[in-house]
Chain A
C-alpha cells in the first residue's frame, strides 16, 4: 500500500477547538498545535518559502480519526494528536528546524531525542496539573472550560458534551490522585426559593481544611514538575535580540507545548487558581517565555510581512440526525468487517 504524499500545493487544514478569552483556542493541545504551525510557517515564510494553511474552528471531536482535536488534514491524509502533527510536518520539511550545536555542544540528533522525552514529561505531568486546575475544581470548571464550550456548542450538544469531555479528563486524573471532586460540592442553589442549607459548622471547617491541604498538595506537585523544567530554559543571543527557549537556540515543539499550558493558566479567568501565583513568584521566566512565544507566533501589525498566511474558517456542528447516523455507521463498521 503506497502512501503518496499529497502535492505540495494542497492546503493544510488544522481542525481545532475555537477561540475564547483572548487566545486562539481554549484547549491546551489545540493551542499548542496552532502555536507550532504559526511558528513553523513564519519561519518558512521568512525564508521565502510561502506556505498557507487553513485554521478550521470545530466543535465536534468525532470528525477526527482518533476522536480528539486537534487534527490536521492534508489532501487525503489525516493526522491527529499534537505529536503526530509535529512528526508529519517535520517529515514534509515544513516543521521547525533545529540545526546546529547548542552551548553544551550537543548534536541536533541528541537534542531531538531529549525533546521527545521532555515533551512526554510535559504531556503527563504538567498537563495533569493544568487539567486539575481547569476541570477538577468546580468553580474553575464552571467559569472556565464549561463557559467556553457552551458558548460555541448548539442545542442539544451543549447539554451533554461538556460532561462527557469532563469524564474523559476525570479518568485520566484519577490514577494519579489529582481528581478530588466530591459530588456534594457541585450542588449550587438553583432555585431562588430554595431554603439556605444550614451547614454544620464542623463540616464547613472540615471542608476548609481539606481545601487548604489540597492546595498545598497541588502547589508541592507543581513545584516538583516546574523545578525540573525551569533549568532547561536557556538564553540565546540572535543579533540584537535575546531569546529564551527550552533546550535549543531555536523555538521547537517543546516550546509550543509548554507555552500552551502556561498561556491557558494565565489567560483563563479562573477564580481558584493556585498555580498562577506560584508561577509569578517562583518561575517568572516560564511565564515570560510563554508570552514571548505567543508574540512570536502572532506578531503585531508592523511585522506583517513575516506573518504566517492563515485563513480562519468555522465548521458548524453537525445536526443531531447526522450525528446519530454517523454513530450508527461507526457501530456497523466495527461489528461488520469491511472487506478491503
Chain B
C-alpha cells in the first residue's frame, strides 16, 4: 500500500528534474577478437575510418575558446599535439566539461574511445572489421601504446617503424629521451617558478584535491635550512632556473636549425609534440622574460607557428553533449 505524493510536494520536486543520459556502450575486448575471421586478415581491407571515429580528448579549458582550441594546461596541449602530429585520421575532438579529480589517474587529459555504432549491431556481416574499439577511457600514459598500435597497422609500415615510434633511427630515439628529460625538467621548472601566484581569495575558495605530485624545483626556504628555526615556506631560486632555461632554448634552436621536425624525423613524433607544447606555453606566458627568450630565436618561432596551425586544424570541438 503506497501513499500518493501530495501535489505541493510534487510541484516542488518538479523544479528539480532528473536528467537521464544515454549509457555509453562498453563492450568487453574479447568480443572483437572472436569476431575477426582468418580470411578477413588475409584479404586486408582494413579501413582507415575504423581507427578512431569520434575519439574525444577531455582537456582543461583553453584560455580563450573563441580563438584557439589548445588547452591552457601544458600536459593537455602535449597530448593534443601528439594525437594531431601522429596523424589520427579525422582529427581529434575535444571537450572540457570534466574536472581533474574526475579523470582516470586523477589527471587530465583522458582519451575517450567510443564504440562505433556499426560494430554495435551484430547483424552487420561482410568483412568483420579489425578495429579494436573498446569504449574505454584511457589516461595519458596509455595513449602512446594505442596510437603506435593503430597507426602502425593502418599505414602498413614494417615492424621496425613501429618500434622506433616515428624517429629516424635508434640513436635519434635515445637522444629524444634526453631532450624529453630536459624539457620536462628544466623548462617545466620555469613555468612552475613563474606561474602567477593566486590571490588569497582564490586560495581560500578553491579546492585542490589533486594528489599527483611533481618534482620540486630549486627553492630556498624563508628562514634557511641551517638555523634552529624549523624551515617553512619556499621561494623559487629564479636566477639559476632562468639561466638554465635560456641555455635550453638556445640548445633547442641549434638542434632544430632548419629541419622540418626535430632530430630529422619524417613526421611529427612525441618529442615534437612536447617541444611544441612548451614553446606554445612560453609564447602564451604572462612573464616577459620567458616569452622574449623564445622570440629571440626565429627558427623556433616559425616552427611553433607552423605546428600550431597543424594542431589547430586537426582539433575540433565536440558537438554539444
The residues of A that contact B221 with a CB separation of less than 8 Å are 67
Q: Does B160 sit within 8 A of A, measured CB to CB?
A: no
- Considering only residues 203-246 of chain B, those with a C-beta below 8 Å from chain A are 213-216, 218-229, 231, 235, 237, 239-240, 243-244
How distant is A17 from chain B, measured CB to nearest CB, in Å? 13
Q: Which partner residue on chain B sits nearest A66 by CB separation?
A: B237
How distant is A98 from chain B, measured CB to nearest CB, in Å? 14
- Given known pairs A83-B243, A84-B240, A124-B185, the reply for A112 and B251 (CB within 8 Å) is yes
Instruction: Indicate if the CB atoms of B224 and A327 lie closer than 8 Å.
Output: yes
Q: Which partner residue on chain A sits nearest B219 by CB separation?
A: A67
Per-residue CB contact flags for chain A residues 63-104 toward chain B (1 = under 8 Å, else 0) read 001111000000000001101100100000000000000000
- Given known pairs A83-B247, A113-B252, A228-B174, the reply for A62 and B227 (CB within 8 Å) is yes
Instruction: Indicate if the CB atoms of A124 and B181 lie closer than 8 Å.
Output: yes
Roughly how many angstroms separate A256 CA and B218 CA in the complex, as a whole number? 21
Instruction: Indicate if the CB atoms of A161 and B182 lie closer than 8 Å.
Output: no
The residues of A that contact B222 with a CB separation of less than 8 Å are 330-331, 334
Q: Does A193 sit within 8 A of B, measured CB to CB?
A: no
The residues of A that contact B219 with a CB separation of less than 8 Å are 67
Instruction: Indicate if the CB atoms of A161 and B218 lie closer than 8 Å.
Output: no
Instruction: Indicate if the CB atoms of B182 and A117 lie closer than 8 Å.
Output: yes
Instruction: Indicate if the CB atoms of B255 and A114 lie closer than 8 Å.
Output: yes
Q: Does B32 sit within 8 A of A, measured CB to CB?
A: no
Q: Does A267 sit within 8 A of B, measured CB to CB?
A: no
The residues of B that contact A112 with a CB separation of less than 8 Å are 251, 254
Instruction: Indicate if the CB atoms of B251 and A113 lie closer than 8 Å.
Output: yes
Roughly how many angstroms separate A124 CA and B244 CA in the complex, as a whole number? 14
Roughly how many angstroms separate A326 CA and B216 CA in the complex, as a whole number? 25
Chain A interface residue count, Cβ-Cβ cutoff 8 angstroms: 48
- Considering only residues 102-158 of chain B, those with a C-beta below 8 Å from chain A are none
Q: Does A176 sit within 8 A of B, measured CB to CB?
A: yes
Instruction: Indicate if the CB atoms of A121 and B182 lie closer than 8 Å.
Output: yes
The residues of A that contact B182 with a CB separation of less than 8 Å are 116-117, 120-121
The residues of A that contact B235 with a CB separation of less than 8 Å are 334
The residues of B that contact A160 with a CB separation of less than 8 Å are 228
| Complex partner residue of B224 from A67, A118, A171, CB under 8 angstroms | A67
Q: Does B50 sit within 8 A of A, measured CB to CB?
A: no
Instruction: Indicate if the CB atoms of B181 and A324 lie closer than 8 Å.
Output: no
A-B CB contacts (within 8 Å), total count: 127
Roughly how many angstroms separate A327 CA and B221 CA in the complex, as a whole number? 10
- Given known pairs A112-B251, A120-B178, A124-B181, the reply for A83 and B215 (CB within 8 Å) is no
Chain B interface residue count, Cβ-Cβ cutoff 8 angstroms: 41
Instruction: Indicate if the CB atoms of A120 and B185 lie closer than 8 Å.
Output: yes
Roughly how many angstroms separate A146 CA and B167 CA in the complex, as a whole number? 45
Roughly how many angstroms separate A320 CA and B239 CA in the complex, as a whole number? 28
Per-residue CB contact flags for chain B residues 178-204 toward chain A (1 = under 8 Å, else 0) read 110110111000000000000000000
Roughly how many angstroms separate A161 CA and B174 CA in the complex, as a whole number? 39
- Given known pairs A66-B237, A66-B239, A117-B251, the reply for A175 and B181 (CB within 8 Å) is no
| Complex partner residue of B174 from A60, A116, A231, CB under 8 angstroms | A231
Per-residue CB contact flags for chain A residues 239-254 toward chain B (1 = under 8 Å, else 0) read 0000000000000000
Per-residue CB contact flags for chain B residues 39-80 toward chain A (1 = under 8 Å, else 0) read 000000000000000000000000000000000000000000
> A residues bordering B, Cβ < 8 Å?
60-62, 65-68, 80-81, 83-84, 87, 109-110, 112-114, 116-118, 120-121, 123-125, 156-157, 160-161, 164-165, 168, 171-172, 174-176, 228, 231, 317, 320, 323-324, 326-327, 330-331, 334
> B residues bordering A, Cβ < 8 Å?
171, 174-175, 177-179, 181-182, 184-186, 213-216, 218-229, 231, 235, 237, 239-240, 243-244, 247-248, 250-252, 254-255
- A-B contacts, 30 of them at CB < 8 A, read A60-B226, A61-B225, A65-B237, A66-B218, A66-B240, A80-B240, A81-B218, A81-B240, A83-B244, A83-B247, A84-B240, A87-B247, A112-B254, A113-B251, A113-B255, A114-B251, A117-B179, A117-B255, A120-B178, A120-B182, A121-B178, A124-B184, A160-B228, A164-B225, A164-B226, A175-B215, A176-B215, A320-B228, A330-B223, A334-B235
| 14 new A-B contacts at CB < 8 Å, known A83-B240, A83-B247, A324-B228 | A62-B225, A62-B227, A67-B220, A113-B254, A114-B178, A117-B178, A124-B185, A124-B215, A161-B225, A175-B214, A320-B227, A324-B229, A326-B224, A334-B222
Q: Which 7 residue pairs are nearest across A and B when measured between Cβ atoms?
A: A67-B220, A120-B182, A66-B237, A113-B251, A116-B251, A323-B227, A62-B224
